[in-house]
Amino acid sequence: MDRTEDPLRRYQAPAPELQVKIDSKNYALCSSCVLYARGEWEAAINSTGVAVTFDPTEWLPHYLKGLSLFELGKHEEAGRALEQAVRAAPAVADPHAWLGRAYGRLGHRPDAIRELSIALEIDPRFLAACYLRGTLLCHILRREGIDD
């Protein structure tokens, strides 16, 4: 696919009667998801910026921006975006888990454990959050000389 081509073009239904009309906000969100999945994180960040202009209180653009920044290694910026996502949707597990990952990368282990624990309270079957929290706890215990 040509990189300048519209990221959603290939996903459009061939028959006009089957096509769904997507408003600008949802188009920007869908574009962000596609760009993130393709590993085009800078472009995904730009697209989330467009989505935020439609509704700054929506959690998903902040979440997608945080994921993209995390993938680029910009963990501090990712943390800020993910904090906005958590404020906008405190009952959604994924932003808490990724915020925990960002805090962990920044060396803020107690904050990371707190966010991962919140993610597990929301969704006890969230295996990635369970694994990351356990890894951080083991690291802290080893650092303090408690190996039991």
Query: The whole model's pTM is what?
Result: 0.75
State CA 58 to chain mean position distance. Answer: 13
pLDDT value at position 81? 96
Lowest mean pLDDT among 64-73, 80-89, 137-146: 137-146
- Look at the alpha carbons of 126, 129, 132, 134 in this order and tell me if their dihedral is positive or negative: negative
31-63, pLDDT tens digit by residue? 888 888 889 999 999 888 888 888 888 999 999
Give start and end residues of each alpha helix (H) in the chain: 24-37, 41-54, 59-71, 75-88, 93-105, 109-122, 127-143
Cα–Cα dist 48/46, whole Å: 5
Grade residue 25 by pLDDT with cuts at 50, 70 and 90: confident
Grade residue 23 by pLDDT with cuts at 50, 70 and 90: low
* Torsion of the alpha carbons at 47, 34, 86 and 67, rounded to the nearest 10: -90
